[in-house]
Structure 1
Amino acid sequence: MKLSQRMNELIRACFAGIWIESHEHLDALAELSAMCQEEDWRLAVWDIDQGLRQPSGTAIDVEVADPLAAVRAVSAMASADTPSLLVLPNFHRFIGSAEIVQAISRAVNEGKQHRTFVVILSPLVQLPVELEKLFIVVEHPLPDRDQLTQIATGIATEAGEMPVDRELEDVLDAAAGLSRYEAEGAFSLALVRDGRITPDSIWELKTQAVKKSGLLSLHRGGQNFDSLGGLGALKSFTRRALIHRGRSTTQPRPRGVMLLSPPGCGKSEFCKCVGNEVGRPVLTLDVGSLMGSLVGQSEERTRQALSIVDAMAPCVLMIDEVEKAFAGASGGGNDSGVSSRMFGTFLSWLNDHESDVFVVCTANDVAKLPPEFARAERFDGVFFVDLPGRTQKDEIWQLYVQRFGLDSSEPKPADDQWTGAEIKSCCRLAALLDVSLVRAAENVVPVAVTSAESVNHLRQWADGRCLSAETSGVYHALAKPKRRRAVSTKPSVN
């Protein structure tokens, strides 16, 4: 629903205190001004820079020098027949004063009788306890695809500048989540650089916009599934879930996958490759960056990060080593329950979000994960990524030997219990030190040796509980043959 439609309903219902959460004050004021002109309502705006004025910029002949006087001015706007709106942009900066809080409380309570409305425009919601029950919060939505198309059409006025069909869809995917001001700048930059609106320049500005939040990072590498050896069943599952769906709104939306494995088996590389494979940006959520020093700040940052993710849809959200990210969620930490509340917020979003976000979580230790995390309908599948088999290892050797410019005919070292990361390390060291692969392997100690107990425990847990990342169906661990006791050939001595 548009902001003007929502505001029209609230004003007719006589909600005298309205808080609009918006980063685009000029656009919000333009919508409110058009609404008031259409309904023949009175509208005034006050800010600390220009004082009291009409939306057109014309000053009102009333002396309003400070925020307290601005709040009191709303009573002078009262009319018996016409609703009157006083809009206060960025007024959250002044609500630390007891006098202003009291004046706003009085103005809102009297507004129901006099049909005067106090409207605060702010990029965040900071209501003191005294005003919580008096205000209703309205969100000014970011532009949808139709509005982004209108913005692009208004900028690309010459022939050939406006993309069409599939290229237009790619441009709108790139611009999703940008504000109107950011979208105008991105489209204009693309015109200056390329002579027409293309996604590349938009992605560059979008990466900066995500980085400014400090909560997420945007990955757009050039690698796809061809650069990742093995994981055949996982690749096929993901590709079918995302690519075959296309843009159909009738099919159910994919939710994501949970990847469990020992370190170095390709979980993080898969997350980076999946976005380019299916044509979606990959957002990485660092839960540590959500932590704040103030009470409630961590929970607020979590909600803010998830709202950015929703706005960036369609996209892929990656949370690496999720068991460490929410280590205190089970109540064993000493963070006063912050991790538990953040984890609860994330679980609720994971279960209820309607945006087209494909979530990929990775974990190395299932014992630290709450059981409710991986239940049905939070993920489409929980996959176990085991150490690669012989066929997968050969693919990985071929991949990295070619990438690091090594001789493919060179003999390979014994790679029993090696992961893909260890094969990559061996190839990189061979190229770095200019030695053979066999010599380079002397510097590699596989994780299956250094952490044999934890790897075996993880395999035993995943047996019959997870899907296999290599072959279709449920994962089953191969039973290790029992070691036979050595039989002595020496004669016994009585």
Structure 2
Amino acid sequence: MSDFERFEQLIEGGTYCISIVTHEERYALEIIRKTAAKFKRDLWVWSIADGVRDGAIDGGPCIADTDVPAAGLLNLSQARPGSICVTLDLADHLKSAKALRILRDLVDNFHKTGITIVMIDSAANLPDVIKTYARPFEISYPDEQELQQIIKATLQRLHRKKPIEVGITQRGLDTIVRNLRGLTRRQAVRVISDAVALDQTFNDDDINLIIANKRRMIQQGGLLEYIQTPLDLDEIGGMSNLKKWLNHRKDVFSPEAKAFGIVPPKGVLMLGVQGAGKSLCAKAIATAWQQPLLRLDPSTLYASYIGESEKNLREALRQTEMMAPVILWIDEIEKAFASAASRSADGGLSQRMFGTLL
């Protein structure tokens, strides 16, 4: 089910408070705009920069003196029944007791009038009292079909600005699409644009550059690290039993194995003292099976806001799943989840994190 269909269901179901945490603000607004148009509903958008404006079109007219959060929310409270009201980065301004109180009154009243408020924020830092009202809505990563459309649209847009030479083969295109999985729509556009900008061409020679740019973007996210692995398993010394097992199972991800019903391995637990070669084993698996290797350091998941740590873990796992098949290396897992089986002073965070992982 597409993002548009899922959001449409929320509106049809009468959900009156929705929270979207995403960096793809434009895409989220596009979903909301299409939904409002389909159901013939008024659409109003508030931001600290513009105040309240008509959201049916980009750059719609603004209402004067509504840029202050409290004033903007008061204006939204006067929307016609059935309207969809969108706020952009409102969470950062709810430290104001007045703005928070107005929002609470607004949400309490909206479920009576059929108005829906959609809060789009770049971070999950809504006050707890608002979280109890809000229905979370997650923006999905683009699938391969959408990525092909993104590539085509990006190339057409760039070609209109300055002619480019496209010489990509179908096999090369499939490889690029596969390597763009796990990136957001905006990141995918940026990767393609950067590849074209070098020589105004787009062909199979750009594959390595696209992979390198993807690796850089993943690491910028701070949750996952793209690890470079040896090119040949023979470059890794020792571990003969592991190598034998890897060679025996190296074709488990092939279409033939899938058609035959062979279930690929789900995971390997490496135990050993420091320096025993656990990290090298993770690289050996990625090398033998010729799959990307992503490293997840559990210490990067923990955040100060309640619920943010679990969200970071879910986001890392969701991004990994979109890039599958891939080798996920969870380094020093015991430091993150060792206290999950005991009573600890972290308020149950370790147990929740461990439950999310399972």
TM-score, normalising length: structure 2: 0.83
Shift of 1:254: 3.2
In the TM superposition, what are the counterparts of 1:78-477 in structure 2 within 5 Å? 78-79=80-81, 83-157=82-156, 160-165=166-171, 167-193=172-198, 195-197=201-203, 198-239=206-247, 241=249, 243-247=251-255, 251=261, 252-261=263-272, 264=275, 266-292=277-303, 298-324=309-335, 326-331=337-342, 338-346=349-357, 348=358
* Unpaired stretches in structure 1, ≥5 consecutive residues: 349-494
For residues 35 and 323 of structure 1, the distance between their equivalents in structure 2, rounded to whole angstroms, comes to 45
Moved more, 332-341 or 206-215: 332-341
Moved more, 216-225 or 231-240: 231-240
Equivalent residues of 2:45, 2:54 under 8 A apart:
yes
Return the letter of the residue paired with 2:170.
Answer: V
Return the letter of the residue paired with 1:108.
Answer: V
- 1:336–1:116 CA distance, 2 compared to 1 (3 A): closer
Return the letter of the residue paired with 2:41.
Answer: W
What is the total number of aligned residue pairs between the two structures? 343
Specify the SS of the correspondent of 2:202: coil
Shift of 1:107: 2.0
Equivalent residues of 1:327, 1:333 under 8 A apart:
no
For residues 247 and 45 of structure 2, the distance between their equivalents in structure 1, rounded to whole angstroms, comes to 52
Specify the SS of the correspondent of 1:234: helix
**Percent identity between the two aligned chains:** 27
Equivalent residues of 1:74, 1:118 under 8 A apart:
no
Deviations 1:161-218 (A, max 9, x none): 43413x3332123211111111011012222346325332222222222222333321
Equivalent residues of 2:47, 2:67 under 8 A apart:
no
Shift of 1:294: 6.0
Partner of 1:447: none
Return the letter of the residue paired with 1:149.
Answer: Q
For residues 36 and 156 of structure 1, the distance between their equivalents in structure 2, rounded to whole angstroms, comes to 30
Is the helix fraction higher in 1 or 2? 2
Return the letter of the residue paired with 2:300.
Answer: S
For residues 135 and 89 of structure 1, the distance between their equivalents in structure 2, rounded to whole angstroms, comes to 15
Shift of 1:43: 0.9
Specify the SS of the correspondent of 1:130: helix
Shift of 1:261: 4.7
* Unpaired stretches in structure 2, ≥5 consecutive residues: 157-163
For residues 91 and 114 of structure 2, the distance between their equivalents in structure 1, rounded to whole angstroms, comes to 23
For residues 98 and 119 of structure 2, the distance between their equivalents in structure 1, rounded to whole angstroms, comes to 17
For residues 111 and 312 of structure 2, the distance between their equivalents in structure 1, rounded to whole angstroms, comes to 35
- 1:127–1:272 CA distance, 2 compared to 1 (3 A): same
In the TM superposition, what are the counterparts of 1:69-80 in structure 2 within 5 Å? 69-79=71-81
For residues 92 and 86 of structure 2, the distance between their equivalents in structure 1, rounded to whole angstroms, comes to 14
Q: Give the number of the structure whose alpha-carbon radius of gyration is greater.
A: 1
Specify the SS of the correspondent of 1:257: coil
Shift of 1:71: 1.6
For residues 202 and 236 of structure 2, the distance between their equivalents in structure 1, rounded to whole angstroms, comes to 34
Return the letter of the residue paired with 2:202.
Answer: R
Return the letter of the residue paired with 1:279.
Answer: Q
Return the letter of the residue paired with 2:77.
Answer: S
Shift of 1:85: 0.8
Equivalent residues of 1:170, 1:199 under 8 A apart:
yes
Q: Cα RMSD (Å) of the superposition? A: 2.9
Return the letter of the residue paired with 1:99.
Answer: K
Equivalent residues of 2:50, 2:62 under 8 A apart:
no
Return the letter of the residue paired with 1:4.
Answer: F
TM-score, normalising length: structure 1: 0.62
Shift of 1:149: 0.9
For residues 35 and 308 of structure 1, the distance between their equivalents in structure 2, rounded to whole angstroms, comes to 26
For residues 127 and 257 of structure 1, the distance between their equivalents in structure 2, rounded to whole angstroms, comes to 38
Shift of 1:150: 0.7
- 1:323–1:9 CA distance, 2 compared to 1 (3 A): closer
For residues 335 and 20 of structure 2, the distance between their equivalents in structure 1, rounded to whole angstroms, comes to 37
For residues 304 and 337 of structure 1, the distance between their equivalents in structure 2, rounded to whole angstroms, comes to 20
Specify the SS of the correspondent of 1:317: strand
Return the letter of the residue paired with 2:342.
Answer: G
Shift of 1:138: 0.7
For residues 338 and 75 of structure 1, the distance between their equivalents in structure 2, rounded to whole angstroms, comes to 37
For residues 284 and 131 of structure 1, the distance between their equivalents in structure 2, rounded to whole angstroms, comes to 34
Return the letter of the residue paired with 1:207.
Answer: R
